[in-house]
Structure 1
Amino acid sequence: MQAPAPKRALVVIDVQNDYFGGGLPIEYPPPQRTLANIGRAMDAARAAGVPVVVVQNTARAGAPVFDKGQPGWELDPTVASRPRDHYIEKTLPSVFAGTDFDPWLRANGIDTIAVAGYMTHNCDASTVFEAAHRGYRVEFLNDASGSLSYENSAGAASGEEIHRVFCVVFQSRFAAVVGTDAWIAALSAGGGFEIDTPYASNQRARAEAA
């Protein structure tokens, strides 16, 4: 028996000016590419009748980034210029934390969320993990999202490393990691994507190492 088609929502997280030449510039994948894919995903969702949720992060007043009302807090025109079905303003990484996101999804019969936006390892990851724990299927658009580099007392990692590793971890248990082209095609086909397991992912890595 064929599984029913996913009842999706596209969640576009924190596509705000501070990520583009502001205080937290996205490095990988290149933002000009990921922004274009975010716009394409929003347009395809609209055409397919998939609701679009736009999320905007707000920090404390005077914070170096995402200070409400400052230019860096504003949504990038790629998102601001497009229609949306629901808007969420949040103050914590997960879109679920302290918002009406979960009640809205359940009221609209959504069983699958597709995540795009920024950052892969922070607000995207928090949302992916919490969605999986709440019983939703999750799709992560890996070329419509991105990361930046870090250095702190634990070490250092490039934006490419952070993005790649989080994508591998997502696919191992929490989300189907797909490109925007494949996701748009799935909207027309009505199908979903497979998510791996930690065991199978580890077995492949061990076999490759051997």
Structure 2
Amino acid sequence: MHVQANAALILIDQQQGILHPRLGPRNNPEAEARMLELLQHWRRTARPVAHVQHLSHSPESVFWPGQSGVEFQQRFLPGEGERLVQKRVPDAFSATGLEDWLRQAGIEQLVIVGVATHNSVEATARTAGNLGFDTWVVEDACYTFDKADYFGVPHSAQEVHAMSLGNLHGEYATVVSSGVVLGA
């Protein structure tokens, strides 16, 4: 496995609202540390970074514009020259200009991290794969929350995370660990 010199790091929804207790139990307590390691590596190696910010349609959302939850966490503030992608739906490619920016920059490889694994991460990775990007999802730099399935059966955040990664791996993306990415 090889990380291209211009591979883009796509950092999804690292906003203050994602830390709200009402979202419930989550998995991967070290995910933010892995995200920050990757972000620092991308900055050191002058690779492109895109910070994805969700702007909700719902006033009940932790990402409703005009309140603190929509703002980036301090440790994940976009740096100078890094791309800001604002989305209104889980998929970071939908009506955002992300694909145009990547194509114009000649970027063919994406490394996706962030939240929530089963929602915005999975939606974005599916589209990236469908668009033909060499898409990597970093399993230990993503996390999600407990969720009931369609039939009302509750699943732990780790189970939801594992199923989402299983949906992606081999079809839309390659699922890897941060150690693999940093060593590649």
C-alpha distance 17-88 of structure 1, shift in aligned 2 (>3 A): same
Name the structure 2 match of 1:36: 33
Q: Which moved more, 1:160-169 or 1:103-112?
A: 160-169
Instruction: String of CA shifts for 1:65-112, please: whole Å, max 9, x gaps.
Output: 211121211111221175551001110110000111000000100001
What is the letter of the counterpart of residue 91 of structure 2?
S
C-alpha distance 23-72 of structure 1, shift in aligned 2 (>3 A): farther
Coordinate RMSD, CA, aligned: 2.0
Name the structure 2 match of 1:65: 62
Structure label with greater radius of gyration: 1
Shift of 1:14: 0.3
Structure 1 outlier segments of 4+, above 3 Å = 3-7, 81-84
Name the structure 2 match of 1:18: 17
Q: Which moved more, 1:105-114 or 1:67-76?
A: 67-76
Give the Cα–Cα distance (whole angstroms) in 1 for the partners of residues 10 and 28 of structure 2: 19
Following superposition of structure 1 onto structure 2, how do residues 68-147 of structure 1 map, counting pairs within 5 Å? 68-80=65-77, 82-83=79-80, 85-147=82-144
Choose from 169, 172, 175 the match for 2:170: 172
Contact 2:109/2:134 (8 A) holds in 1: yes
Contact 1:121/1:162 (8 A) holds in 2: yes
Shift of 1:7: 3.7
Answer yes or no: is 1:161 the counterpart of 2:159: yes
Unmatched tracts of structure 1, length 5 or more: 187-210
Contact 1:148/1:158 (8 A) holds in 2: yes
Contact 2:54/2:88 (8 A) holds in 1: yes
What is the letter of the counterpart of residue 180 of structure 1?
S
Unmatched tracts of structure 2, length 5 or more: none
Name the structure 1 match of 2:8: 9
Shift of 1:179: 1.3
Give the Cα–Cα distance (whole angstroms) in 1 for the partners of residues 33 and 79 of structure 2: 13
Give the Cα–Cα distance (whole angstroms) in 2 for the partners of residues 71 and 57 of structure 1: 13
Q: Which moved more, 1:11-20 or 1:167-176?
A: 167-176
Give the Cα–Cα distance (whole angstroms) in 1 for the partners of residues 81 and 180 of structure 2: 22
**Secondary structure at 1:27 match in 2:** coil
Q: Which moved more, 1:9-18 or 1:148-157?
A: 148-157
